[in-house]
Amino acid sequence: MGPQLTSPSTSDLSRDDLFSMLRNERRREVIHYLRTHEGPVDLRDLSEYIAAIENDCEPAAVTYKQRKRVQTALYQMHLPKLAEQNIISYDRRAGRVELAAGAENCLPYLAADTDRKRRRWWRWYLLVAAVVAVPVGLATLGVRPFTSVSGLGYAAVACAAFVAISILQVTQERGRDA
């Protein structure tokens, strides 16, 4: 594959080093992607895949800017770290990446990370905040019928909505972890 960034030693990583590698979602996604693609993959395709996950869209919908942001981070930080630990082989000049022998150490821990398509709860919280903010803003501007509801009424609705979403999130996450 040409000049590569790999560690000369293939010895097992310490548990702390392994967890340090896997604590970053992008590095975990790199390993997941490489596990499902045989042989070397192109850095551009890998970046597009991760950008799609991060932007909650299909890879075809990823913009140049979104892909480039991920690609730069992979190129400068994540891939060299994974290569140092012999988890991947990375040819910087060709932009090609593949799993290395050290990836076997990661697989048992990644098997526990089965639900990678997590609901992005922050979007629901943002939606509730917007739904509450609009009538409050209209009431502040004196628009009828929004002025007929007291501030305490709006506060109660907002609290109830956030409590409901929080309960849904906890219920879903406990069900997933069970």
Task: Verify that 82 and 156 share a domain, yes or no.
Answer: no
Task: Verify that 24 and 98 share a domain, yes or no.
Answer: yes
Task: Verify that 128 and 104 share a domain, yes or no.
Answer: no
**Domain that includes residue 28, residue range:** 15-111
Task: Verify that 93 and 32 share a domain, yes or no.
Answer: yes
State the pTM of this model. 0.60
Task: Verify that 33 and 64 share a domain, yes or no.
Answer: yes
Count up the domains in the chain and report the number: 2
Distance CA 31, CA 149 (A): 53
Proportion of the chain above pLDDT 90, given as a percent:
54
pLDDT at 95: 92
Task: Verify that 65 and 149 share a domain, yes or no.
Answer: no
Q: How confident is the model at residue 8 (pLDDT cuts 50, 70, 90)?
A: very low
pLDDT at 79: 95
Q: What does the pLDDT average to over 152-167?
A: 92
> Which of the listed residues 87, 111, 135 is the one where a domain comes to its end?
111
pLDDT digits (tens, 9 = 90+) for 26-62: 999 999 999 889 889 999 999 999 999 888 888 999 9
As a whole number of angstroms, the longest Cα–Cα distance in the chain is 72
Distance CA 105, CA 111 (A): 11
pLDDT digits (tens, 9 = 90+) for 108-149: 777 765 555 555 778 888 889 999 999 999 999 999 999 999
Query: Residue 35: what residue type?
Result: R
**Residue 2 above 90 pLDDT?**
no
pLDDT at 40: 94
Task: Verify that 83 and 29 share a domain, yes or no.
Answer: yes
pLDDT digits (tens, 9 = 90+) for 71-108: 999 999 999 999 998 999 999 999 999 999 888 888 77
Distance CA 153, CA 137 (A): 14
How is residue 115 written in tokens? 């639900």
| Residue that wins the pLDDT comparison between 93 and 15 | 93
> Which of the listed residues 83, 111, 139 is the one where a domain comes to its end?
111
Task: Verify that 58 and 125 share a domain, yes or no.
Answer: no
Could you tell me the CA-to-CA distances from 112 to 22, 70, 107 in Å, in that order? 12, 25, 9
Distance CA 110, CA 116 (A): 10
Task: Verify that 172 and 138 share a domain, yes or no.
Answer: yes
**Residue 175 above 80 pLDDT?**
no
Phi, psi of 118 (to 5 degrees): -75, 150
Kindly give the interhelix angle for 43-54 and 25-36, rounded to the nearest 10 degrees: 120
Task: Verify that 76 and 130 share a domain, yes or no.
Answer: no
* Residue 116, in any domain of the structure: no
pLDDT at 44: 96
